[in-house]
Structure 1
């Protein structure tokens, strides 16, 4: 086996093992499960670990170089209109390729799937263009985010109340495992080719801005369609009695996800082929290596999504129902904290972002620091989500103070941490959140007798909010310890430019 692949699978194992152990412990103590259901979960965990390993390696050797190559070429163009058009197309194509968007479309019953998908893709395309223009014209990310989030909350007051949580969830799920590696690398390529002292700082913020587009567009759709029946069908647990039944559940699901991921990845492969034909940017050896990387990405996503949807989602719903039915409802909060702390490490795009952050900051922000801050932040977010499930309080009571705090912190932290924080928000809320935590919240909400649409939805939005605060607090601590604002950008940008020129 490829040594690099072994390394990635070991990293995946370390990420997924804690959440697996937590579920096993709960199944023995508080929420007993049938052996067949537990076997579904364990098999799903194995597929998830192997899938994450393949995906991370594929993203590293294919998606990241492709995004950097496109970004580096674009910035050399003198036509702003051409740059804007290409970036719009890239943002829209990569969003349509996002598996998480299909999940969201199925959740929103009042809007046709294709209408929602294309509208959200348009929103990401527009904001990808805005993110590129921000880099080219050196516009402050903090000021832009402040204006846009104020606009979002003003607009949300005109949308149906039961649709607010769904809209903010959209911002998290559309920046998932397909979108993050490419868009992050696109920002790196653009900012590095600009070659000034703020280049590395400005390579962050792409995901942050692209997360705003879906929220804005889904709010507008909510206003336009006046949805009143946006419900999510709870995950059904298929009865399994033997190991053969377990194997058949996964074998029957693999073709479905293989088809979904193939449709998702074909546009990306098309971008790679067209870019190479017109630019001749990569050598033959690089083309072969990146082709293998795209294949790894495809295989990894198929295994990951099959494992998560068949093995993890049913167990999440079952755990939520079991915890919500008894007299120990309050245990949802500490268990939510524990699950939230570990589940973010199992998000494939999180590890991709953490590696890029460590590389771009020259080790100033290490993977360990990122993992710790994200885990603590998401643990707090899941705790708040469980409080909402138990009490039914409006999501505004969390989102508005949370975003105000995040935007105020922007005035006091080093610029590089602002971009990293807001990018992390979109990345942390990926497939594991939507297919394990959301069913967990829904199962608990149903058992308690709450309103699933208003009380369970919003957990993705809260997970996306948490890193905005946690990473910036980490930035404050770093700035306080160093006594000066760190400046890794200038040398870092020069190094990246030299590397791109050598390619």
Structure 2
């Protein structure tokens, strides 16, 4: 086996193993799973581990270099019309192909699926253009975030209540494992060409702004269509009784995700071919490496999405339902927090973000610190989500103060942490949230007799919000640490200067 692939698979094993052990423990204590559901979950976990290994290596070999190269070449061209056209096209086409967007479309039956998909995709495309122009014209990210989130909350006043959680969820759903590595690399490539002292700070922020576009798009749809209902129709979760049923469940879904991932990667492949034909950016050996990386990425995503959707979704919904139906329904909060703490490390795009942050910061922001802050953030978000499920309180009571704190922190932390924090929100709310945490909340809400659309949906939005705060708090700690180091260095230099003066006086 390829040495690097082996390392990536072992890294994935360490990420998936904790959540696997937690589910296994719950299945023999307060939430006994049927044998069929448990086998589905365990097979799904194995597919996740292998899939994450392939995806992680493939992303490093192909998605990141392609995005980085396109971003660098666009910046060098200094052709605004070309940048706007390419940005709009890339953002729209890649988002249409994002598998998670199809799931979102089924959540709003009052709006035709293709209308919703196209509107959200155009929203991402427009905001990718905005994000690219921000990098070129060196506009401060915090100012744009304040303006756009203020617009989001003002617009939400006119949106039907049933659309609010779905609209905020869409911001996380559309920044999935396919779009995130490419868009992140695009931003890093564009910033690297500038070469000024603030280019490092502007390497991040594209994902953050692209996450706002879908929120505004779904809100506008809610206002425009003004539907009388937006009831969610949950999909039927199977409970296989034999190992043959388990094999058939995975076997019948492999072709589905094979096709979805193929459709999703084709636009990136087409863009990369056109880019190479025009720019001749990659040499022959690099092209071979990129090609192999695309194959690895394809294999990884097919395995990962099949494992997550077929294996994890039934387990998440059943565990949530069982705990809520027990006399100890309050355990939803601590158990949800523990699951949230560990499950975020199983998000494939999180590993991509953490590596990029460590590389761009030249090791000043280590992957270990990023993982800890993301885990704490997601744990808090799932705890708050379970409070919503148990009490039915409006998502506004959490989102408005949360975003106010997040935006307020932007005035006190180094700019690079603002970009990383708001990017991490979109990255953390990926397929693992949609296939395990959302069904977990739905199962609990259904057992409690709550409104699934209002009380269960919003989990993705919560997961996308809390890392904005925890990563920026890490930025505050980092800022104080750097200030203390600078003070110590200044004091040491002052002491050395005093010693020199004393020596000169003695010599005289």
Structure 2-normalised TM-score?
Answer: 0.94
- The SS at the match of 2:162 is helix
Structure 2 match to 1:2: 2
Is the contact between residue 358 and residue 365 of structure 1 (CA under 8 Å) also seen in structure 2?
yes
Correspondence list, 1:377-388, <5 A: 377-388=377-388
- The SS at the match of 2:28 is helix
Instruction: Flag structure 2 segments of 5+ consecutive residues without an equivalent.
Output: 487-508
Q: Measure, in 2, the Cα distance between the counterparts of 1:96 and 1:485.
A: 48
Is the contact between residue 42 and residue 311 of structure 1 (CA under 8 Å) also seen in structure 2?
yes
Correspondence list, 1:239-254, <5 A: 239-254=239-254
Structure 2 match to 1:501: none
Displacement after TM superposition at 1:29 (Å): 0.2
Q: Measure, in 2, the Cα distance between the counterparts of 1:372 and 1:121.
A: 32
Q: Measure, in 2, the Cα distance between the counterparts of 1:64 and 1:13.
A: 23
Q: Measure, in 2, the Cα distance between the counterparts of 1:228 and 1:429.
A: 29
Is the contact between residue 169 and residue 457 of structure 1 (CA under 8 Å) also seen in structure 2?
yes
Judged with a 3 Å threshold, the aligned counterparts in structure 2 of structure 1 residues 222 and 76 are, in CA distance, closer, same or farther, namely: same
- For the pair 1:295 / 2:295, whether they are aligned, the reply is yes
Judged with a 3 Å threshold, the aligned counterparts in structure 2 of structure 1 residues 462 and 275 are, in CA distance, closer, same or farther, namely: same
Structure 2 match to 1:46: 46
Q: Measure, in 2, the Cα distance between the counterparts of 1:180 and 1:283.
A: 25
- The SS at the match of 2:204 is coil
Please give the root-mean-square deviation of Cα atoms over the aligned residues, in Å: 1.2
Once the two structures are superposed, what CA deviation does each residue of 1:295-334 show, in whole Å capped at 9, x if it has no partner?
Answer: 1111111111110111100111111111111211100000
- The SS at the match of 2:76 is coil
Structure 1 match to 2:194: 194
Correspondence list, 1:36-435, <5 A: 36-435=36-435
Instruction: Flag structure 1 segments of 5+ consecutive residues without an equivalent.
Output: 487-503
Once the two structures are superposed, what CA deviation does each residue of 1:30-50 show, in whole Å capped at 9, x if it has no partner?
Answer: 011111110011000001111
Displacement after TM superposition at 1:92 (Å): 1.1
Once the two structures are superposed, what CA deviation does each residue of 1:437-495 show, in whole Å capped at 9, x if it has no partner?
Answer: 00100010010000001000000000000110000000001111111799xxxxxxxxx
Is the contact between residue 51 and residue 299 of structure 1 (CA under 8 Å) also seen in structure 2?
yes
Q: Which consecutive aligned stretches of 4+ in structure 1 deviate over 3 angstroms post-superposition?
A: none
Displacement after TM superposition at 1:232 (Å): 2.8
Structure 1-normalised TM-score?
Answer: 0.95
Q: Measure, in 1, the Cα distance between the counterparts of 2:481 and 2:91.
A: 38
Once the two structures are superposed, what CA deviation does each residue of 1:339-368 show, in whole Å capped at 9, x if it has no partner?
Answer: 010011000001101000000000111110
Q: Measure, in 2, the Cα distance between the counterparts of 1:33 and 1:2.
A: 37
- The SS at the match of 2:78 is coil
Choose 309-318 or 475-484, whichever is displaced more: 475-484
Is the contact between residue 235 and residue 313 of structure 1 (CA under 8 Å) also seen in structure 2?
no
Structure 1 match to 2:501: none
> What is the aligned length?
486
Over alpha carbons, which structure has the higher Rg? 2
Structure 2 match to 1:15: 15
Structure 2 match to 1:27: 27
Is the contact between residue 162 and residue 228 of structure 1 (CA under 8 Å) also seen in structure 2?
no
Q: Measure, in 1, the Cα distance between the counterparts of 2:393 and 2:452.
A: 12
